[in-house]
Amino acid sequence: MPIVIERRCAMIYTLMNKNNPVIDFETQMGTILRITDTWNEEYLPIGTRTKTGIDVKTLNHWWHGRSIPASRTGIEEALENMEIDSSKELLEKSYGLSLSDQYWIRPDHSKIQWKDINFFENPFSEDVGSALFGGQFGGDFMSPDNTSDGWLRKKWVIQNQKRVLLKSGSGESQQEPLNEVLANMICDRLNIKNYVKYQCGYQEDHAFSACDNFITPDTELITANMFMKIKKIKKKINHHSYYQHYKKCCQEMGVDITESLDDMLILDFIICNRDRHYNNFGMIHNVNTLQIEKAAPIFDTGTSAFAGVSENKIKTLPLNESKPFCKYHEEQIALIQNIERYEFQKLIGLEEEFNELLQRSPFITASRRDKLVTWLGERIRMLCESKMKRKVTEM
C-alpha cells in the first residue's frame, strides 16, 4: 500500500498584543510561512525586527521559542499522551497565550477578544500540566503550560486567585527547589529586595518549588538575549565585554541596572549558579507605554549548589564555572561595582538554616546534606576574603 502523508492546511492568524493587531501571518504545522499584512510594527516582539524590516526567520525563532523545549523532562511521554507530534503544535491550540507576556494569535475572521481568553484574568485548564507531570490528559489544551520554557517539569496553577508556577526537582536528590529557597534566604540576609519569592513542597516522588507570577497584565519579561536585539540599541563595540554591552544597552533605554546586576552576581557567586544564561534574567517592559521599566527580579536559581551532581563529586567538583559574563565565578565577582554595601556578617547562621531546610527533604541523604552545608560555609568565607582583598587593593 502507498504511504499516505498527512498534509495539514495552512492557517492565517493575526498576531495580537493584548487588543492591538500587529501582523497577519500564514502558518503550517507550527511554522510561520510568510507575513501577509502589517498593522502595528511598534508592537512587534522585541528583537524580531531587523535592518530590512520584519524577518520571517527571526519571527519563527521567537515563535518556536515560546514552545516547550525538546529537552524538557518527560516531554515525549506527555506528547504521546496528548496525541501530539510536536510541542510546537500546542502553541496554536491555546492561541499562543502565555503568562510571561501579552502576545496571542487570533484566527482569521475570528471575533475573539483578549479579555475573553487571556490567562491573567480567566481560568485555564490544568490538563496539559497534568500530562507534563506524567498524569493523564483530560483533553483541554487551553493552558499557559503550552508556552512554558526550561528543561525541568513545570506547570501553572491558580491558588487564591494568583497564578502560581510549580517547578519540579530532578534526579535522586530533587535539589533544585531547595536551592530556590536558599537563594531567598541569602537575598533576605543581604537586603536584596528585587527577587522572586519561592516556597518548597513535596508531592509523591518529587520536590517542587512554587512562586507567584511576577508579570502582570500590563508588563512582559524581556530576556537579556532579546533585550540586546532592540532595533534602536547600538551594536556591541568590539573592545566591550558583554557585561559592558548589556549595561550600555540598559543605559540607552534609560535604566541603570548596576545595583540589580551586583545583586545577581553576588547571589550567583555564593550558590555557584552555573546556569545564569541570557534567557533567565532581563528587563520588565510595559506593553501599554512600550517603555522599559526596570530590571526583572532575580529568578530561576535552581541549577546551582551541586544540583544534579552525584554526592561523591560534591567535595571534588569546585563548580567554579560561571555564566553569563565570565567563564569563572572568581572573575565574574570582580565585575561587582559596589561590594561594600553588602554586610556579609549577616550571612552568619545561614549554614544552620540551610541544614534545617535540607533535613526536611526526604530526598537529601544525611551525607549529602553535610557536604552541602560545609561547602556553603566555604563559599561564604571565599566571598568575605574576596571583599577583603579588594579593599586592600583599593587602599
pLDDT at 299 over 50: yes
> What pLDDT is recorded for position 258?
96
CA distance readout (Å), 36 to 6, 191, 222: 25, 51, 26
d(CA 28, CA 14): 14
pLDDT at 358 over 50: yes
What percentage of the chain has pLDDT greater than the value 90?
Answer: 80
- Confidence grade of residue 5 (pLDDT, cut at 50, 70, 90): very low
Model confidence over 135-161: pLDDT tens digits?
999 999 999 999 999 999 999 999 999
> What pLDDT is recorded for position 60?
93
Model confidence over 371-387: pLDDT tens digits?
999 999 999 998 888 77
Mean pLDDT, range 264-273, rounded to an integer: 96
pLDDT at 50 over 80: no
Classify residue 83 as exposed, middle or buried by CB count within 10 Å of its CB (0-12, 13-18, 19+): exposed
d(CA 155, CA 141): 13
- Confidence grade of residue 219 (pLDDT, cut at 50, 70, 90): very high
- Computed over its alpha carbons, how large is the radius of gyration of the chain? 22
Cis? peptide before 177, omega within 30° of 0: no
Higher pLDDT residue, 36 or 313?
36
> What pLDDT is recorded for position 389?
67
- Confidence grade of residue 228 (pLDDT, cut at 50, 70, 90): confident
CA 104, distance to chain mean position in Å, is 19
Model confidence over 66-125: pLDDT tens digits?
999 999 999 999 999 999 999 999 999 999 999 999 999 999 999 999 999 999 999 999
> What pLDDT is recorded for position 341?
92
d(CA 356, CA 200): 13
pLDDT at 195 over 70: yes
What percentage of the chain has pLDDT greater than the value 70?
Answer: 95
Model confidence over 328-349: pLDDT tens digits?
998 999 999 999 999 999 999 9
